[in-house]
Structure 1
Amino acid sequence: MITCEGESKSVGLCELFECSEELAAIAGRTPGETVAVVEFLLAVCFAAGEYPAGADEWRGWVEGRRHFAGVAEWLAGQADGDWDLFDPERPLGQNALLRGSFEESATGVAQLVIERTGDYLQFFDQHHLEDGESLSAAEAFRAVLTQHVYAPYGRGRISGKELGAAVTNLATGRLLGRIRVVALGATVGETLRLNLYPWQGERGRLNTSWTTGPVTRRGFGAKAVPRVPQGPADLHSALGRSILLRGRLDAERGAVVDRVLIGAGEVLELDPGRHMTDAVLHRTAAGLEKPLWPSPTRALWQDAHALYAAVKERQPGLYALLGSLKYKHDGTEVPYQLWAVGLIANKTLPVTWVEGCFPYAPGMAEHLYLASARGSRIAEFLAARLKRAALVASRTMHPAKVPADEAALAARYDARWRFWAEAGQPFYELLDTVADLGPRQSPVAAAGPVAAYAETLLEAAREQLAQRLESLPPNERGYQARSRAVNRFEDDLAADDAPAEIQELVVRD
């Protein structure tokens, strides 16, 4: 049911844990689906009792490459009914109590796929929910997992006559609205080891369905009262939606899902210190601290320094563990990757997945933080100066404009958006270079990788500005606007607030 890279095949859970060192990575259809699968695998490990008890044991697991055969053995001993996607009483990951409303309210499977439907009424591409082909059982299961952790709030298409009106009140998934960071290793096994944090106390039970296990589920006669997860197994497998699937046999594809019903699920009371061990605290413009969040206007790489700062400062959880690993380098190690994923939503409507993958070599947090912070500052400085140049060109061309029209008029000459699109790849290359250098070489040394990155970005900024100014008319005012805009930009490069790497380039030129 899980698709893995390495052998390019779909594998069952038992096989995945048995062969975790032979599989390169989980390969979901979307970043969010991949994260949801990793969440479920972590829940299985915790439920099986296969997790480190403390930081020292965690390091031993990572450095000793502990296998997961014990998890496969635990799975083999579980009751088959608990793992049946179409069991009539306890369907895997679902709520059988929705059965009484199914015939009246169920729709086509588009409702199950977050990226295809926002308000649970219609496809983004304007097709009705009843349109579309069925999903294979494996595809449907992964979509269920994604719904449980990322689904947005809103109103469900289910009637409340059977279970109560609150079944239509869909709450926000526990990972929506924040960046989830997963430490990636060279194999599935290494990825699991890196993310299985130490836990003291009850580990909780795996939520295989709404009607099994010791958890007292909410009702739907009133607004939900958030519950505290009973442990990591419970947390990572929490049923954030009530979902029920209808399956049938297809002559060519085997078991498929052709109808689905979605209602309100569990609402959790989360303690950031215990239940968000991967979260990076970031300060808002109002001065409040909250987990790093996805932005429609700011790429994740611009905040990569926040991830490295968390490791450098040994922020409790994932980052303190990563920071405790010792630097070893013989030319053969592949750095870990800090994979950051978020879902941008416009209220109830999912918009797009955002992601970024940042290298982390043990013992290199200080250098990677310095490089990413300087790199982000250089990019933001150049982008801000491109905006100023655009305003100068606009004000020269349109001296009698209405103030309210200034932004729209300046947008014609604003090179920032194309510049940002070009700035990302050099930034990732900068981090890869720094990760390979080792801790003895400073990334900000003269003629070092940050200086080379600054030169690449300055060249891109000048080129993009020139291209945007080409739209100016070939007359006296157009020539004047072009000259003033370019001079404004070049003068800004030598200003006192310019990054040192930029000032050095200007002096050299």
Structure 2
Amino acid sequence: MKGERVELSLIGLFEEADSLSTLSGTTPGETVALLEYLLAICYASETYPNSAREWRRWVEEKHSLDQAAAWLAGRPDDEVWDLFHPTEPLGQNALLAPFLDQRGAGPAQLVIEHVGDYNQFFDHHHLEHPAPLPVAEAFRAMLTQHVYGPAGRARISGKETLGPTITNLAIGRLSSRIRVVALGATLGETLRLNLTPSADLPGEFNRSWTAGSQPRRGFRTKPDGRAVSGPADLHSYLGRSILLRPTPEGDAVDRVLLGAGELLDLQPRHLQDAVYAKMPDGRKKPLWASATRALWRDAHALYAGVANPDSPGAVHKGMDLYGRLALFPGADALPGPGGPVSRSINLWAVGLVAKQTTAITWVSGVFPFAPGLGADLHRASKRGSDIAEHVAAALGKAAYSAWTIAYPNPKPADKAGQIARFDARGMHWEATEEPFHILLDETVAGEDVHESLLDYASTVRVTARRFLTERLDSLPRNSQGSQAQAAALRRFDDEMTHPKAPAELQGEPA
């Protein structure tokens, strides 16, 4: 685990938390998995606030996390924290030990990005590659599997190991949705910001499959999800049955056996950071990662819980992360017109894009938040997204207008490719992200939202029209080409002044 390029133990991370600027894994998902583990230790050591009021004091007064470090340092001798312990391996299922040497695969199976299709009964020769994985990397990859492992079918044989359902890999707790982390100025503040207050017991920390009193599932039949005993249980749950084999030197892992893990009965209160988006049928579900829709286009969802917690259709989870952020120190000291905000944090959104059983890529984005400005940020981001969506639709219609003239007798099979020749939407989406973030930064700085939106809309409109013109440059220099170009530009301009167009595109405040 790294902080300012310094390798630290778990105890060291808590001892130095307020002098470390961040925690960094090799991927966004790995970093989230590490934070989840640290949060679980905070809860297990009873280092967490009991109420939203106390949460604010913890953040404002930089409440010490030494209790978590002392808890780790003071674990009894019979409570082992050893990745390779024979009966209680850290984060693993020792019941797989009799099968590991013969039925395990290479360490690539442990790393989400290296597996490929999680229907692992396919021909996956690369999983047999014996190249060892350093212990620290293996530990972080294991944590990431527990939290983000995609659904699929494990390579392990259930009939010849623990039972038929060990092959059924359930989707990880965070795999199907965007995880939002409130980022503070230090690792310590980040942990305090993301500790959900609770007056209840923390529940049991899942140190190992064979340790503790927490009942574990069997693998003869598929069980129902078990109840979550508390936040320590939630953040440390073992989403995979994993067992690692060390090299003779003990500094790396050379073989891995991986199968299905625990199933949890998750309730709305367990999704403190979740933001919700509408599906085509009108239902709401936690915002998910997409390979085609950038996170910033849905940034307004991040601010909605602070701006409109009681709006119709809102998903109520009690005092969630966004409700607490409204209490963030400084929320009772609103800035004057054009004045700077005293404190701000960032909301870091992370998701895993998967196509069926194949992990594709990680997506992430950072969005600013300032106390007292939730409503302004929600408005700026929602209007900014609406403006970008309208401009994109206009570019699509303009491309179609050019196509109808440039290709009067097209073959149906060629239509999509021909329209794509004039379609500037990809260029538009890529170019709009930066002005959108500038819009949010100006809002956090206390700038007038009306003026910022007008500037943003002007930039997006002018840039998009330039992209369209560039796309149309491929038209022949003849009458037909000129007509197609004129029709496309006219259609784009008409869409900018259409009665349903966002007012800002016409130089007017909404």
Q: TM-score, normalised by structure 2?
A: 0.93
From the superposition, tell whether residues 346 and 416 of structure 1 become closer, same or farther in structure 2 (CA, over 3 Å).
Answer: same
For 1:91-106, list aligned pairs within 5 A.
91-106=89-104
From the superposition, tell whether residues 170 and 202 of structure 1 become closer, same or farther in structure 2 (CA, over 3 Å).
Answer: same
Q: Secondary structure at the match of 1:53?
A: coil
1:203–1:233 CA contact under 8 A, matched in 2: yes
Q: Indicate the residue corresponding to 1:199 in structure 2.
A: 198
Query: What is the CA distance between 1:405 and its match in structure 2?
Result: 4.4
1:111–1:120 CA contact under 8 A, matched in 2: no
Residue range with higher mean Cα deviation, 29-38 or 76-85: 76-85
Q: Indicate the residue corresponding to 1:318 in structure 2.
A: 321
How far, CA to CA, are the matches of 1:234 and 1:267 in structure 2? 12
Query: What is the CA distance between 1:43 and its match in structure 2?
Result: 0.5
From the superposition, tell whether residues 19 and 409 of structure 1 become closer, same or farther in structure 2 (CA, over 3 Å).
Answer: same
How far, CA to CA, are the matches of 2:139 and 2:342 in structure 1? 35
How far, CA to CA, are the matches of 2:12 and 2:105 in structure 1? 33
Q: Indicate the residue corresponding to 1:414 in structure 2.
A: 423
1:178–1:294 CA contact under 8 A, matched in 2: yes
How far, CA to CA, are the matches of 1:408 and 1:360 in structure 2? 42
Matched, 1:359 2:368: yes
What amino acid is the match of 2:210? T
For 1:440-479, list aligned pairs within 5 A.
441-444=447-450, 448-479=451-482
1:446-500 Cα shifts (integer Å, max 9, x gaps) = xx22111112211220121111112222222122111111111112211111211
1:411-440 Cα shifts (integer Å, max 9, x gaps) = 111000111011111111211111011xxx
How far, CA to CA, are the matches of 1:472 and 1:82 in structure 2? 71
How far, CA to CA, are the matches of 2:470 and 2:176 in structure 1? 36
Matched, 1:298 2:329: no
Q: Indicate the residue corresponding to 1:112 in structure 2.
A: 110
2:130–2:255 CA contact under 8 A, matched in 1: no
How far, CA to CA, are the matches of 1:236 and 1:207 in structure 2? 9
How far, CA to CA, are the matches of 1:127 and 1:478 in structure 2? 53
How far, CA to CA, are the matches of 1:249 and 1:66 in structure 2? 43
Of 402, 421, 429 in structure 2, the residue corresponding to residue 393 of structure 1 is 402
Q: Indicate the residue corresponding to 1:211 in structure 2.
A: 210
1:239–1:266 CA contact under 8 A, matched in 2: yes
1:198-217 Cα shifts (integer Å, max 9, x gaps) = 11323111101100111110
How far, CA to CA, are the matches of 1:120 and 1:417 in structure 2? 30
1:212-234 Cα shifts (integer Å, max 9, x gaps) = 11111000111132111111100
Q: Indicate the residue corresponding to 1:269 in structure 2.
A: 265
1:55-81 Cα shifts (integer Å, max 9, x gaps) = 110111111111101110111011465
How far, CA to CA, are the matches of 2:301 and 2:153 in structure 1? 35
Query: What is the CA distance between 1:127 and its match in structure 2?
Result: 6.5
Residue range with higher mean Cα deviation, 133-142 or 356-365: 133-142
Query: What is the CA distance between 1:265 and its match in structure 2?
Result: 0.3
For 1:47-446, list aligned pairs within 5 A.
47-79=44-76, 81-120=79-118, 128-131=126-129, 133-160=131-158, 161-248=160-247, 250=249, 255-272=251-268, 274-314=269-309, 316=318, 317-325=320-328, 326-328=331-333, 333-402=342-411, 405-437=414-446, 441-444=447-450
How far, CA to CA, are the matches of 2:449 and 2:440 in structure 1? 9
How far, CA to CA, are the matches of 1:127 and 1:97 in structure 2? 26
Residue range with higher mean Cα deviation, 221-230 or 415-424: 221-230
What amino acid is the match of 1:311? V
What amino acid is the match of 2:7? S
Q: Secondary structure at the match of 1:87?
A: coil
Query: What is the CA distance between 1:361 and its match in structure 2?
Result: 0.7
Query: What is the CA distance between 1:295 and its match in structure 2?
Result: 1.7
How far, CA to CA, are the matches of 2:359 and 2:275 in structure 1? 22
Q: How many residues get paired?
A: 493
How far, CA to CA, are the matches of 1:423 and 1:296 in structure 2? 17
How far, CA to CA, are the matches of 2:295 and 2:130 in structure 1? 33
2:343–2:371 CA contact under 8 A, matched in 1: no
How far, CA to CA, are the matches of 1:332 and 1:132 in structure 2? 54
1:102-144 Cα shifts (integer Å, max 9, x gaps) = 122111111000011133578x9x8711226322111111101
Of 5, 8, 12 in structure 1, the residue corresponding to residue 9 of structure 2 is 12
From the superposition, tell whether residues 374 and 332 of structure 1 become closer, same or farther in structure 2 (CA, over 3 Å).
Answer: closer
How far, CA to CA, are the matches of 1:21 and 1:433 in structure 2? 28
Query: What is the CA distance between 1:327 and its match in structure 2?
Result: 4.5
How far, CA to CA, are the matches of 1:353 and 1:449 in structure 2? 31
Query: What is the CA distance between 1:310 and its match in structure 2?
Result: 0.9
2:246–2:253 CA contact under 8 A, matched in 1: yes
2:458–2:507 CA contact under 8 A, matched in 1: no
1:186–1:334 CA contact under 8 A, matched in 2: no
What amino acid is the match of 2:281? A
Q: Indicate the residue corresponding to 2:496 in structure 1.
A: 493
1:275-320 Cα shifts (integer Å, max 9, x gaps) = 1111112211111111111122211101111111111124631011
Q: Secondary structure at the match of 2:64?
A: coil
Q: Secondary structure at the match of 2:18?
A: coil
Q: Percent identity?
A: 51
2:345–2:369 CA contact under 8 A, matched in 1: yes
Q: Secondary structure at the match of 2:449?
A: coil
Q: Secondary structure at the match of 1:341?
A: strand
1:152–1:173 CA contact under 8 A, matched in 2: yes
For 1:38-49, list aligned pairs within 5 A.
38-49=35-46
What amino acid is the match of 1:217? R
What amino acid is the match of 2:286? P
How far, CA to CA, are the matches of 1:268 and 1:82 in structure 2? 25
What amino acid is the match of 2:449? P
Q: TM-score, normalised by structure 1?
A: 0.93
Q: Secondary structure at the match of 1:21?
A: helix
In structure 1, list runs of 5 or more residues that go unmatched: none
Residue range with higher mean Cα deviation, 188-197 or 129-138: 129-138
Q: Secondary structure at the match of 2:353?
A: strand
What amino acid is the match of 2:389? E
From the superposition, tell whether residues 332 and 453 of structure 1 become closer, same or farther in structure 2 (CA, over 3 Å).
Answer: closer
Query: What is the CA distance between 1:324 and its match in structure 2?
Result: 2.2
How far, CA to CA, are the matches of 1:202 and 1:18 in structure 2? 24
Residue range with higher mean Cα deviation, 335-344 or 197-206: 197-206
Residue range with higher mean Cα deviation, 367-376 or 126-135: 126-135
Q: Secondary structure at the match of 2:12?
A: helix
2:119–2:152 CA contact under 8 A, matched in 1: no
